[in-house]
A = this chain, B = another copy of it.
Amino acid sequence: MQLIAGIESELSARSIALTIQLVDELQLEAELELYRRWASERRVDGVFIVDLRVEDPRLDELVRLGLPAVVLAGSRGRHPLPTVWQNEADAVAGAVRYLAALGHRRIVRVGGAEGFVQTKNRTEAYLRTAGELGLAGTVVTTDFMAETGAHVTRQLLSDRQPPTAFIYESDILAVAGLGVAHEMGLHIPRDLSIIACDDSPFCQVVHPPISAITRDIPGLGAEACKRLLELIEHGQSADLELPHGHLTPRGTTGRAPAHLTSQPGARLRC
């Protein structure tokens, strides 16, 4: 909704309507069919593309159809369409480094679904940064559903050597993870640290409030909208990189449990 609000902040002054079509994320063919119909009936003047796939047939099809399109993404990507993007890799790398600086060595990333560029970018940034820090990276993928996030958190926290920190793909996954931690009697952040890659009001009002990567989503929507209008009016538009998100530390990040940060010889628990 923040993205829609950002787009409409630009459109409303010009009396242009935004049509929103929800498509099943697994049915790309139906989405392609929609673009073909929109293009042939001239029902829409241009489209925003979000949730980019690693192999995304929409990009070539939009170019073929000549339907003006702007991509909103977390990286530039190798495709011909104008893109408004915020470097997500840098934000994720910053979160991993922050947790490592707090003494965490077992940091698990609970990601979204494979096949999405966002998930891929964030996973690569996480693994690269963990590698640089000499940490073994662990990535669990989910279908973005809260229930799945709760389930994998429960499983991982039941391990003999449970993680001391989680980085969740979204706000709802992080809230689910915090719920499981409470359910299992853990004290946050003494026993476990949690970071959400997407912020929301929910992250801010649970207790403790969840440390999250904060980005200017309305700004992303507004800039993408300006680019699309430019593309429609002048036939071309340029890419734009917006400032990347940064970690807003709240109540779910703290130093790793002391017995886990000391040297191997001193690992006895008191």
Inter-chain contacts of A207 with B (CB < 8 A)? 178-183
B20/A20 in contact, CB under 8 A: yes
Chain B proximity mask over A125-166: 1 for CB below 8 Å, otherwise 0: 000000000000000000001110110000000000000000
The A contact surface, by secondary structure, is helix
- Please give the number of chain A residues whose Cβ is less than 8 angstroms from any Cβ of chain B in the complex: 37
B22/A20 in contact, CB under 8 A: no
Q: Which of the candidate stretches A11-19, A48-56, A226-234 sits at the interface with the other chain?
A: A11-19
14 contacts between A and B (CB under 8 A): A4-B20, A4-B22, A5-B22, A8-B21, A17-B21, A18-B20, A19-B19, A146-B201, A147-B205, A172-B202, A175-B202, A175-B205, A178-B206, A179-B206
In the bound assembly, the distance between CA atoms of A12 and B30 in angstroms comes to 10
Residues on A close to B: CB < 8 A?
A: 1, 4-5, 8, 12, 15, 17-22, 37, 43-44, 145-147, 149-150, 172, 175-176, 178-183, 201-202, 204-209
In the bound assembly, the distance between CA atoms of A37 and B180 in angstroms comes to 50
Known: A17-B21, A20-B18, A20-B20. A201 touches B172 (CB 8 A): yes
Inter-chain contacts of A20 with B (CB < 8 A)? 4, 18-20
Inter-chain contacts of A1 with B (CB < 8 A)? 22
| Number of identical monomers bound together in the oligomeric complex | 2
CB-based closest 10 A-B pairs: A182-B207, A176-B205, A179-B207, A146-B205, A146-B201, A20-B20, A183-B207, A19-B19, A179-B205, A17-B19
B17/A175 in contact, CB under 8 A: no
B37/A22 in contact, CB under 8 A: no
Closest chain B residue to A205 by CB distance?
B176
Closest chain B residue to A183 by CB distance?
B207
Inter-chain contacts of A21 with B (CB < 8 A)? 8, 12, 17-18
Interface centre among A18, A180, A201, A209 (most CB of B within 10 A): A201
**Distance (whole angstroms) from the CB of A184 to the closest CB of chain B:** 9
In the bound assembly, the distance between CA atoms of A17 and B20 in angstroms comes to 8
